[in-house]
Amino acid sequence: MTAPLKIAVAGLGTVGAGTLKLLRANADAIATKCGRAIVVSAVSARDRKKDRGVDLSSVAWFDDPVVMATQSDADVIVELIGGAEGHARRVVEAALSQKRHVVTANKALLAHHGVTLAVQAEKLGVSLAYEAAVAGGIPIIKALREGFAGNVIQRVYGILNGTCNYILTTMRATGRDFGDVLSEAQKLGYAEADPAFDIDGVDAAHKLAILASVAFGTEVDFKNVHVEGIRRISALDMTYAEQLGFRLKLIGLAMRDNGGIAQRVYPCMIAPDSPLAAVEGVFNAVVTEGDFMGRSVLEGRGAGAGPTASAVVADLVDIASGRHVPTFGVPVAGLTKLPSIPVAERVGAYYVRLVVVDRPGVFADVAAAFRDEAVSMESVLQRGRDDKANVNVVIITHETKEAALVRALKKLEANAAVVEMPHMIRIERFPAP
């Protein structure tokens, strides 16, 4: 057996500690699979005294992770600090500059700086691996770069954020509203104290930008991901979705479209028999559609110590075994830059909920606003009248261009009889299994 692969771990939070535990618990099996041992030779974290449930007495400690990246004896630097800037970025850049392989779980770093870092890694002949950055324990990066390499990928989409999926699942199951369920998710540890990155869709958008790059062979283009979160989803929307035969999910979707790439993260209504409808709680799932392979669905836990550590170690096994592929599936020079298709160009069906004053002539105003923009209504529901004589009107449209619907809703927003801002949710028609 050849010399051990030495690694240094920057960041000993949930994932960092989980990675050390996995490497020790399964050391023999891992060594057998890659022909050499993988050993932790150095670590760095903010609090040296904190009990992480793993013995660090034989491991070199560095207070500064950047110093560790340049001065430790490690072959691989594992960056588990997080964030697009600061220590995380400096650690990765320093490690690459020393011709050390890098394994990271940092989707923000890759979404913002992935191409630049890939250029550096490629130039120096080292790996920049990041299976753990997208969908936790689901091996979607390996699947796209290797398993599906013979295909032209047309579309990749999925549930990419477990926090949002837990909130929406619980809202549907209990009838409770968003704020109440978010508070519960925070108490259970499924949502951060500041949950904005999750519930506003940014976390999912980081992951989608990476997936799109690997799937389509394009440069990472986070700035052109259309991002919407779930703050405006109400228990009432959940009720209507069920009545109309839909499930509400936060979906990340990237696809080729008219010579460009569409990248979108938003809550949408999907059919109960679509491949993502049954993905509940904190689970993630990614669907890939290729020209020869057809459709593949991968589902699993998208976060947590065990699943994410599993993905980190999978990258380490590849490096220890001498397996190397370009960071985004093709050499950096081969990455293309395709035009971004704005969400205003989307053509599809929509759910629209209006709160209007219940009086004669109001619905005629609604119909006129839709008519003037050539938006056709498939069905209309009117439910409930409150003590202020306001009612909810729910409209399902036929397929229409989003820009036209937005113009119609702007007109209605200016109508005095529409007492709340119109609420629109897209309907995605994913094929059944």
Q: What is the DSSP code string of 123-136?
A: HHT--EE-GGGSST
Write out the residue limits of the CATH 3.40.50.720 domain(s) in the chain. Answer: 5-133
How does pLDDT run across 163-175, given as a tens digit for each residue?
999 999 999 999 9
Please tell me the predicted confidence (pLDDT) of residue 386.
65
3-state SS track over 302-368: CCCHHHHHHHHHHHHHHHHHCCCCCCCCCCHHHCECCCECCHHHCEEEEEEEEEEECCCCHHHHHHH
User: In this structure, which topology does domain 5-133 adopt according to CATH?
Assistant: Rossmann fold (3.40.50)
The Cα–Cα gap between 83 and 327 comes to: 19
What share of the chain in percent tops pLDDT 70? 98
User: Which helix (H) or strand (E) segment is 113 a member of?
Assistant: helix 107-124
Structure tokens at 186: 């925070």
What share of the chain in percent tops pLDDT 90? 84
Please tell me the predicted confidence (pLDDT) of residue 57.
83
How does pLDDT run across 83-104, given as a tens digit for each residue?
999 999 999 999 999 999 999 9
List, for the chain, all residue ranges whose pLDDT scores fall below the cut of 70. Answer: 1, 384-388, 433
Residue with tokens 């890659």: 34
Write out the residue limits of the CATH 3.30.360.10 domain(s) in the chain. Answer: 145-301
Per CATH, the architecture of 145-301 is what? 2-Layer Sandwich (3.30)
337 is known as an active-site residue: no
How does pLDDT run across 124-152, given as a tens digit for each residue?
999 999 999 999 889 999 999 999 999 99
Q: Which residues of 359-386 are buried (b: 16+ CB within 10 A; e: fewer)?
A: eeebbebbeebbeebebeeeeeeeeeee
How many whole angstroms from its chain centre is CA 353?
Answer: 27
- Residues 283 and 309: beta-carbon distance below 8 Å: no
CA angle, residues 299, 10, 12, in degrees to nearest 5: 70
Q: Residue 79: how many CB atoms within 10 A of its CB?
A: 27
Residue among 6, 33, 107, 207 flagged as catalytic:
207
Write out the residue limits of the CATH 3.30.70.260 domain(s) in the chain. Answer: 344-427
Please tell me the predicted confidence (pLDDT) of residue 387.
58
Pairing of strands 283-290, 153-159: antiparallel
Q: Which CATH class is domain 344-427?
A: alpha beta
Structure tokens at 229: 């979160």
Q: Residue 89: how many CB atoms within 10 A of its CB?
A: 21
- Residues 354 and 366: beta-carbon distance below 8 Å: yes
